[in-house]
Chains A and B, each alone.
Chain A
Amino acid sequence: MIRKLSITIFIISIILILSCNEEETVPSVLEQEQLAVPSNVSSQIIVPSYKILNTKIGRLAADVETFKLDLNVDNLIALRVSLKEARLAWQWCNLYDFGPAADAELSSILNTFPIDEEGIEENIEVENFAADAIIPQDEKSLVAIAYLLHGTEITDDQIVQQFVDNSNRPIYLEQVVGQVSRRVTKVVQNWTANSESYLFTFQDNIGTNDNSSLSLLTNAITRTFERKVRDSKIAIPLGQGTGSDPSPNSVEALYGGYSVELIRESIKAYQNLFKGQSLMDSTAPDVDGESFIYYLNAIDNTNLAEDLEDGFTKSITAVSQLSEPYHEEVINNPNPSANALNQIQQLITIIKSDMTAAMGINITFQNGDGG
């Protein structure tokens, strides 16, 4: 009896193995995609995004030097332009808050807001700006630079005069840019350094289990989309959340007045990631590459990919209805913002529940003790 049983099991296993043998040499479509997505996303989107940011920050640092040597309104205006470009470039990196960027705390170093105006003025006053000085995060970052360059209700001449009158001011500006620049360079190096680069780690770590690159990436983008885009950029200024009073001074570009542009840019960065469009090849920018949409088209048959694309389009359209000055709009005309929140909310729902479930990805890292 037992012998019969074991023989049967043995024969069945042989048949099962033989019946699939022919396909075994070729990796399945799914496996190719699980390989392709981390590879495409990291080399064509993530690393280029950081490189662009690095270039923009480099130009910003150079313009700070120019301004410092020759304090005049023309240089101030040029400097503001490069600051804005750097802040736009940051929106394309905001979503990759894992690995080197998380280690370097890049998000808070570059984009903590609202900032502490009084704290900054005090640092300048008491010369608290040595490179290693312990300065709270809300007294440095690109947003602090924006404060220094734009001020509040003050003419361009007066701003330049502030820098002329107090020689500590340009030094503080230089120090803040210096720190930002060093961190960004470090992250770029960690991603691309020839030996032991994070790029290889990321590309090798396939599958969708808890420590895979796809899981890491998905967790980071869902977290940042909620906290850094929905909450920080819109919901908090609008007065959502505990406390519930509108907080107009919490808009991202209070100094400079381009908050809406930053919101739009940030969502476009997510959209681009989902579509997998390369940032390397500007000749064919509209071709969808191996990324989430592509992967979902392969494994899912419930229109998930379509709904995601639709969600992005709707969110971007809704954000386009917002107007500057945004810190006044959140008080006087909150409806467009509420509508944008609603669209983003629906998009996050699809990403966080439907997409992760379809991909078999766990949100949150804690791998836990069982099922």
Chain B
Amino acid sequence: MNLKALRYRLISEEKSIAPLIVFRVLFGLLMLFSLVRFFAKGWIADLYLSPRLHFSYYGFEWVQNPGEFGIYLLFGLAFVGAIGILLGAMYRFSSVIFFLSFTYLELIDKTNYLNHYYFVSLVAFLIIFLPLNRGLSIDQWRNPSLKVTHVPAWMINVIKFQLAIVYCYAGIAKLNYDWLIEAMPLKIWLKAHVDFPVLGAFFAKDWVAYFFSWFGAVYDLFIVFFLMSRKFRPYAYFFVISFHVLTWLLFPIGVFPWVMIAFSTIFLSIRTHERVIEKLIGLSSKVPISKSVQSFKYNTAKSKLVAGTLIVFVVFQLLFPWRFLMYPNDLFWSEEGYRFSWRVMLIEKAGYATFYVTDPRTGQKSQVFNNEYLTAQQEKMMATQPDMIWQFAQFIKEDYQKKGIENPVINAEVYATLNGKRSRLLIDPSIDLTKVTDSFEPKQWITEGP
């Protein structure tokens, strides 16, 4: 196939809008479900209202907790946005406020970092540029001239690309010694489930951990390619469902499996999507789908802007997960360049951090009670992640300065265990954490990994 033909197939070929409509409905439903679940489980209070302080992201320190009213307002906006997306009502506005409010909430505290929140933010950003409301929507019902039947292929492919990034990078991340050769951390995790019905009896066996590790790596690496092949697609999608349901049953990973199952439907054939829509229309009215082709096109100026934005987006997606290569420290140990790189359920890490404050004037040294500052969840996450350890030391410094100790010396004795190895010091306990700064530079005060 020559380049021109490839370009045509990937970008400009006119495709039915059906997959995008189905995607919009699934996205809206899942986000509504996710928000309601978050609220019902009391996580708004746990994660946003009870903490005394938050761990902001490097470069996003300006994202502050806006207080109780502000938090509920943001959740309200995200909720309204999700309903707007689901119904295709005031679509551009809905998708923009959903993206902004959801992303803002996620950026408040890195304690709550989850790959699938990042994934949702990226998809929410993408769909702002896609005309998902041009069929089976309130917008189109109010203004029938909005209706289109076809869209350029890139609009569907860019969503496929996003899914491919998640799966392939998650697969690449599994290609490491611990995962493949030691079957860690699955050896530990599976043993915790020997009470699982039927399969439980096998989980204590090492070969099962190896099987799951290797299968998981192969699945992540190649599932997208099978989903793209017309021949293997039904089998591949069956695998998608089985795989994610199993992970949902075994691990505390919330809505992530459902997000992947729902979003992967974008790979199903256009015919399948059209049938689903016919069913949906059959439910609501008897209007037949018009047979005449109406295509969606951005005008030239807009199209340049959108193309530019998306090219930057795609390049960023491809490159950003590799930044860990620029750090000399062991990735799983230092976690420099760990987040935003599709490392999902990849390591078992636990730690325990004790901070000591010394008043340089008196030499008096005392221990900090972490729970006076942090929630249990924050303390747990902080104890294994060096950048959070550093951040916490800065919080302590400010607090002691308020108490009249001008230049407190803050040391931390942090023990961490990684993938079943015995715990050891994570950072240099002699380093005064108030004297070092945070940046993208490698952190010299992190110890060598196990």
Task: Assess the A2–B367 pair: CB atoms within 8 A.
Answer: no
Pair B357/A368 contact, Cβ less than 8 Å: no
Contact residues, A192-226 vs B (CB, 8 A): 206-210, 223, 226
B205 CB contacts on chain A under 8 angstroms = 20, 28
Q: How far is the CA of A371 from the CA of B118 in the complex (A)?
A: 12
Which of A82-90, A144-152, A234-242 forms contacts with chain B? A234-242
Contact, CB under 8 Å: B204 / A31 = yes
**Cα of A210 to Cα of B251 in the assembled complex, Å:** 10
**In the docked arrangement, what's the CA distance between A363 and B371, Å?**
14
What sequence of 0s and 1s flags, for each residue 248-289 of chain B, a beta carbon within 8 Å of any chain A beta carbon? 000111111000000000000000000000000000000000
The answer, yes or no, to whether A321 is at the interface (CB within 8 Å) is no
B235 within 8 A of A: yes
Which residues of B from 420 to 442 have beta carbons under 8 Å from A?
420-423
Q: How far is the CB of B381 from chain A (nearest CB, A)?
A: 9
Interface residues of B in 368-423 (CB under 8 A from A): 368-369, 371-372, 376-377, 380, 383, 399-400, 403, 415-417, 420-423
Q: With A31-B201, A366-B46 given, can you name 14 additional A-B contacts, CB distance below 8 Å?
A: A6-B235, A20-B201, A30-B191, A240-B367, A242-B399, A302-B422, A352-B350, A353-B423, A357-B188, A358-B420, A359-B188, A366-B377, A367-B254, A370-B117
Instruction: Tell me the bound Cα distance from A362 to B380 in angstroms.
Output: 9
Complex contact A370–B194 (CB within 8 A)? no
Q: Nearest Cβ distance between residue B307 and chain A, in whole angstroms?
A: 33
Q: Which of B9-17, B141-149, B217-225, B341-349 contacts A (4 or more CB under 8 A)?
A: B341-349
Give chain A nearest CB distance to B224 CB in angstroms: 18
In the assembled complex, how far is the CB of residue B145 from the closest CB belonging to chain A, in whole angstroms? 41
Given contacts A20-B202, A30-B191, contact A353 B368 (CB under 8 A): no
Hey, which chain A residues are within 8 Å of B114, CB to CB? 368-371
Which A residues form the contact surface with B (CB < 8 A)? 1-2, 5-6, 20, 23-24, 27-31, 34, 206-210, 223, 226-227, 231, 235, 239-244, 299-300, 302-304, 341, 345, 348-350, 352-354, 356-371
Chain B nearest Cβ from A41, distance in angstroms: 17
Most A CB within 10 A of own CB, among B235, B369, B372: B369
**Residues on A with beta carbons closer than 8 Å to the beta carbon of B350:** 352-354, 356-357, 363
Instruction: For the complex, give the distance between the alpha carbons of A311 and B7 in Å.
Output: 66
Query: In whole angstroms, what is the CA distance A366 to B254 when docked?
Result: 11
Q: Check A34–B231 contact: CB distance below 8 A.
A: no
Docked-complex contact B380 and A370, CB < 8 angstroms: no
B423-A350 in contact (CB<8A): yes
CB distance from B368 to the nearest CB of A (A): 7
Contact across chains for B420 and A239 when beta carbons are under 8 A apart = no
**Chain B residues whose C-beta falls within 8 Å of the C-beta of A231 in the assembled complex:** 369
Residues of B contacting A363 with CB < 8 Å?
Answer: 350, 376, 380
Q: By the criterion CB–CB under 8 Å, are A209 and B420 in contact? A: no
Q: Is B360 an interface residue (CB 8 A)?
A: no
**How many Å lie between the Cα of A20 and that of B200 in the bound state?**
12
Is A364 touching B256 in the complex (CB atoms < 8 A)? no
B256, A371: Cβ atoms under 8 Å?
A: yes
- Judge whether A370 and B231 touch: CB under 8 Å: no
Kindly provide the distance from the CB of B123 to the nearest chain A CB, expressed in whole angstroms. Answer: 15
Q: Are B38 and A31 in contact (CB under 8 A)?
A: no
Give B234's nearest chain A residue, CB to CB.
A2
Q: When the two chains form their complex, are residues A354 and B417 in contact, meaning their CB atoms are under 8 A apart?
A: yes
B423 contacts across to A, CB distance below 8 A? 349-350, 353-354
Residues in B neighbouring A209, C-beta threshold 8 A: 192-193, 252
CB atoms of A353 and B351 under 8 A apart:
yes
Across-interface contacts of B349 in A (CB, < 8 A) = 357
Which residues of chain A are within 8 angstroms of B422 by Cβ–Cβ distance? 302-304, 354
Q: Please, which residues of chain A bring their CB within 8 A of the CB of B352?
A: 348-349, 352-353
Can you sample 8 A-B contacts with CB below 8 Å?
A20-B202, A206-B195, A239-B366, A241-B369, A244-B357, A356-B350, A357-B348, A366-B377
Binding site for A on B (CB under 8 A): 34, 38, 43, 46, 114-117, 188-189, 191-196, 200-202, 204-205, 231-232, 235, 251-256, 344-345, 348-352, 354, 357, 359, 364, 366-369, 371-372, 376-377, 380, 383, 399-400, 403, 415-417, 420-423
Query: What residue of chain A has the Cβ atom nearest to residue B349's Cβ?
Result: A357
Interchain CB contact under 8 A, B188 and A360:
yes
- Select A2's contact among B235, B254, B376, B417, beta carbons within 8 Å: B235
Contact present for B368 and A242 (CB under 8 Å): yes
Q: Which A residues are in CB contact (< 8 Å) with B196?
A: 207
Whether A207 lies near B195 (C-beta < 8 A) is yes
Give the complex CA separation of A29 and B417 in angstroms. Answer: 25
Instruction: Give which listed residue, B253, B372, B417, contacts A370 with CB less than 8 A.
Output: B253
* Complex partner residue of B194 from A28, A303, A362, CB under 8 angstroms: A28
Minimum CB–CB distance for A224 against chain B, Å: 13
Question: A242 to B355, alpha carbons, bound, how many Å?
Answer: 11
In the bound assembly, the distance between CA atoms of A304 and B377 in angstroms comes to 25
Closest to A206 in B: B195
Contact A360 B192 (CB under 8 A): yes
B115 to A370, Cβ gap below 8 A? yes
Residues of B within 8 A of A368 (CB): 114, 252, 254, 377
Q: How far is the CA of A352 from the CA of B370 in the complex (A)?
A: 14
Q: CA–CA, A242 to B204, complex, Å?
A: 45
Q: CA–CA, A34 to B416, complex, Å?
A: 25
Complex CA distance for A339 and B255, rounded to whole angstroms: 47
B-chain residues with CB within 8 Å of residue A5 when the two chains form the complex:
235
B251 in contact with A371 (CB, 8 Å): yes
- Give the Cβ gap from A344 to chain B, nearest Cβ, in Å: 11
Chain B proximity of A210: nearest CB distance (Å): 6
Instruction: Determine the residue in chain A with the shortest Cβ distance to B202.
Output: A20
The 7 closest A-B pairs by CB, nearest first: A360-B192, A369-B254, A208-B192, A371-B345, A244-B366, A30-B204, A240-B367
Chain B residues closer than 8 Å to A361, beta-carbon distance: 192
Q: How far is the CA of A46 from the CA of B138 in the complex (A)?
A: 61
Task: Return the chain B residue nearest A231 by Cβ.
Answer: B369
In the complex, residue of chain A having the shortest beta-carbon distance to the beta carbon of B399: A242
Given known contacts A2-B231, A207-B193, A353-B423, A242 and B372 CB-to-CB distance under 8 angstroms: yes
Cβ-defined contact, A240 with B416, below 8 A:
no
Nearest B residue to A31 by beta-carbon distance? Answer: B194
Chain A residues near B43: list those with CB within 8 A: 366, 369
Complex interface: chain B residues within 8 A of A303 (CB): 422
> A357 and B403 in contact (CB under 8 A), knowing A28-B194, A369-B114?
no
Q: Are B232 and A242 in contact (CB under 8 A)?
A: no
- The CA of A366 and the CA of B38, in the complex, are separated in Å by 12
Min CB distance, A364 to chain B, in Å?
4
